[in-house]
Amino acid sequence: VYGKSHRPKEAMKVLNEMELSGFTPSIVTYNSLISAYARDGMLDEAMELKKQMTEKAMKPDVFTYTTLLSGFERAGKVESAMSVFEEMRNAGCKPNICTFNAFIKMYGNRGKFAEMMKIFDEINVCGLSPDIVTWNTLLAVFGQNGMDSEVSGVFKEMKRAGFVPERETFNTLISAYSRCGSFEQAMTVYRRMLEAGVTPDLSTYNTVLAALARGGMWEQSEKVLAEMEDGRCKPNELTYCSLLHAYANGKEIGRMHFLAEEVYSGVIEPRAVLLKTLVLVCSKCDLLPEAERAFSELKERGFSPDITTLNSMVSIYGRRQMVAKAKEVLDYMKEMGFTPSMATYNSLMYMHSRSSDFRKSEEILREIQAKGIKPDIISYNTVIYAYCRNTRMRDASRIFAEMRESGIVPDVITYNTFIGSYAADSMFEEAIGVVRYMIKNGCRPNQNSYNSIVDGYCKLNRKDEAKLFAEELRNLDPNAPKDEDRRLLERIGKKWPIR
């Protein structure tokens, strides 16, 4: 009970009392304690308990190993997780479905989808069958990566395998679709859940709040919280985490600060996950002192940072070109056995892309490829930006070609980086050529695409060409928004009166 309530120290006291009273702890006792410590990210303590087990001639079982493996996976310590698995195999302990589920989650969260599906295929080879957690994990992984077609495909396969969607599946689907940006589809799943007679629980409310938070819908989030507080369901730490994200994404910094103070003062119990979320949202909002305070509070209260928390600190230091501070966090990660994730590398690439050492961005790109990690669109866009910012257009085009060859579809940010760079260098023909190319390849220009071009003309006092571009926009982009040409003329007019 203490373990499940995130109170491992009290659980440990019971063990000590137990032994003083002459009772011999069993493997269940130790597994419960290991689970309690692993759940709160206190993995050194969990490993120490496993060591005590073996010293007492108690053989760790599949639950022991899988709990530790899952704990290291959650913390982002992939090498430690693999070490536990290797020890498990050497001990002749056969993995169970929970072990496979932990690996599916680990590979999926790191974007290693080929390895993830290989593990999925091995389930049947080992004489096991995917369970509801397996399917929900696949749904969650694909949802987190914005792969909505894969989400729908897994859901169909799941039903074909005879699984009837239950509350947890509905919760996972709501989360998956909201992570793909399909908020309407997420809410449709919620309505279908209610129509199917499935009663929402705390997890459901938290999932809905998380979906609202991603859209910055803080007012609706407060309404859901009020509904919960009215007696239907008592909020927990994850509820307040989602509310913090809603405020951050909705740019409601004042409300975010107020909720943070309630956490620090103890009005809301300052659990590890809440303090980690405060680091994340403060970093996201570029609030350096607040992020550093949350990070300090986390460590001072005896909680261990996880990979997401550390990445948030690397990110905020990287954005501010605080190279020494970013290196401190990286050294800490290495010292504590954390495996850098894609977010870590992307933050480092971002930091170098804005510095004089911009070539370092591509070096990091090559480093992650050598490690078998597939760069994402953020990785490529960052390196492209590094070269465009330094007028190295040939190198930028080389990375663009590699990006497409790797199967990643350029987005509006990719194209706008080229447009902005060409326009800034008075290469308007090339900039307009990029607009034509992106339209031809199914990517819609946005306001920033056209702003870069007219601003480039304005900067050079070429008002007639700026006006002509705006007036003839329909010839370039017949599907441009209705008032886009007027908007651009008004933008130009702020510099020169148009008659």
Q: How confident is the model at residue 497 (pLDDT cuts 50, 70, 90)?
A: low
- In one-letter notation, the amino acid at residue 313 is M
Determine which of 156-160, 229-233, 288-292 has the lowest per-residue pLDDT on average.
Answer: 229-233
Is the CB of residue 313 less than 8 Å from the CB of residue 279? yes
Q: What are the residue ranges of CATH 1.25.40.10 in the chain?
A: 1-94
DSSP state of 180: T
CB 453, CB 432: distance < 8 Å: yes
pLDDT tens per residue, range 226-284: 988 776 788 999 999 999 999 999 999 999 999 999 999 999 999 999 999 999 999 99
Residue 177 reports pLDDT greater than 80: no
- Report the chain's C-alpha Rg in angstroms: 26
pLDDT digits (tens, 9 = 90+) for 37-56: 888 788 888 899 899 888 88
Quick check: 498 pLDDT over 60?
Answer: no
DSSP codes joined into one string, 30-44: HHHHHHHHHHTT-HH
Q: Can you say whether residue 372 is alpha, beta or left, with left for phi > 0 and alpha for psi between -120 and 50 degrees?
A: left
Tell me the pTM: 0.65
67-70-72-73 Cα dihedral, nearest 10 degrees? 180
Any alpha helices (H) in 96-182, and if so which ranges?
97-109, 113-125, 132-144, 148-160, 167-179
User: Nearest to residue 281, comparing CAs of 308, 245, 317?
Assistant: 245
What is residue 190's predicted lDDT score, i.e. its pLDDT? Answer: 81
What pLDDT sits at residue 475?
93
Name the token pair of 246: 């809603």
Report yes or no: 221 and 209 within 8 Å, Cβ to Cβ. yes
Q: Can you give the length of the chain in residues? A: 499
User: What CA–CA distances, in Å, run from 353 to 322, 350, 365, 425?
Assistant: 13, 5, 12, 19
Q: How high is the pLDDT of residue 37?
A: 86
Three-class secondary structure assignment of 173-225: HHHHHHHCCCHHHHHHHHHHHHHCCCCCCHHHHHHHHHHHHHCCCHHHHHHHH
**The Cα angle at residue 434 between residues 472 and 438, in degrees rounded to 5:** 95
Q: pLDDT digit string (tens) for 201-235?
A: 888 888 889 888 988 989 989 998 998 877 678 89
Q: How far apart are CA 335 and CA 198, in angstroms?
A: 47
Q: Give the pLDDT confidence score for residue 496 in this predicted structure.
A: 65
Q: Looking at per-residue confidence, does 193 or 351 come out higher?
A: 351
The owner of tokens 């790109």 is 365
Sequence-distant contacts of 129-132: CB under 8 A, at least 24 apart: 129/97, 130/97, 130/161, 131/97, 131/101, 132/163, 132/166, 132/168, 132/169
Side-chain-side CA neighbours of residue 343 (13 Å):
18
Residue 24 structure tokens = 């011999």
Query: Residue 443: its pLDDT value, please?
Result: 93
pLDDT winner (highest mean) among 57-66, 221-230, 334-343, 426-435: 426-435
Report pLDDT digits (tens) over 393-411.
999 999 999 999 999 999 9
Looking at 1.20.1530, 1.10.3470, 1.10.287, 1.25.40, the CATH number of the domain 410-498 comes to 1.25.40
Residue 73 pLDDT exceeds 80? yes
Alpha-carbon separation of residue 430 from 37, 422, 436, 437, 487 (angstroms)? 58, 6, 10, 10, 23
The CATH number for 1-94, chosen from 3.40.1360.10, 3.20.20.70, 1.10.486.10, 1.25.40.10, is: 1.25.40.10
